Amino acid sequence: MNHRQPSRATLLGVGFASVIVFLLAWEAACRTGIVDALFLPPPSAVAEKIVAMMADGTLLANVLASTRRVMTGFIAATVVAIPLGIVLGTSSYARAAFDPILSFLRPLPSMSWIPLSLLWFGISETQKYSIVFMGTFAPALVYVIEATRNVDPLLIRAARNLGASRWQVMREVILPASLPQILSGLKIILGLSWTCVISAELVAAREGLGFLIMNGKEFFQTEVVVLGMVMISVTVLVTDIVFRAIERKVLGWQA
């Protein structure tokens, strides 16, 4: 029996239609009183708030503040985690020394670092960067270690037999071979970075999407709360698209 696969356009149409039906059902539920608009505002109210905040520039300012914090903390964690992860992935002694520390740090959620970071850095931008760094460093390090350990040992032995030094093996063999898996892991860590920065902004911030959500909750402006949630999803989606483009560029040699 021949089953025709739906075209990409058909699948996109189905996805778009499902979103429209969901928004219409949500709007109808609010307007008919099934759902109290005070607790869950209709999409039209959220859209009006988005337009108003885009017009006065406050929405863009808050999005940029959160994005700057995410990217600063994420890049700092990446810069430290990649070389350290390669060293730990290729050295049994180094891994044995660092594994207990990593096992202690890895389960700690970003929220648990907030009290200490406030004591160390006060209510500052550095404190927000540190929360993202601390919440993403250990998971990023684990991804890099695993990616390094999965490199085919035959490639490493072949390079050593040809006279490559330890540094050359790391740079010319291990890093290129593990890069696809490292980038896949970092893509997940980038999403985690947003969780970290929202946690930080919910507690101590004067701008950012987390601050926007908390401020909306304080003044019972539920349309602002939903707006903040929507913008987090949109911003994460945009950063994911940008990261995929960078990934395709970096891994162009694989095509």
DSSP string, 102-130: HHHHTT--GGGGHHHHHHHH-SSHHHHHH
95-143, pLDDT tens digit by residue? 888 888 888 888 888 888 888 988 898 888 898 999 999 999 999 999 9
pTM for this predicted structure: 0.82
Q: What is the pLDDT of residue 23?
A: 92
List the chain domain ranges.
41-251
Is the distance from CB of 82 to CB of 179 less than 8 angstroms?
no
Binned at pLDDT 50, 70 and 90, residue 64 comes out as very high
Tokens (6 digits) for 198 = 């929202």
Query: 41-251 architecture in CATH?
Result: Orthogonal Bundle (1.10)
Q: Is 68 exposed, middle or buried (0-12, 13-18, 19+ CB in 10 A)?
A: middle
Binned at pLDDT 50, 70 and 90, residue 3 comes out as low
Count other C-beta atoms under 10 Å from residue 210's C-beta.
Answer: 25
CA distance 168 to 8: 45
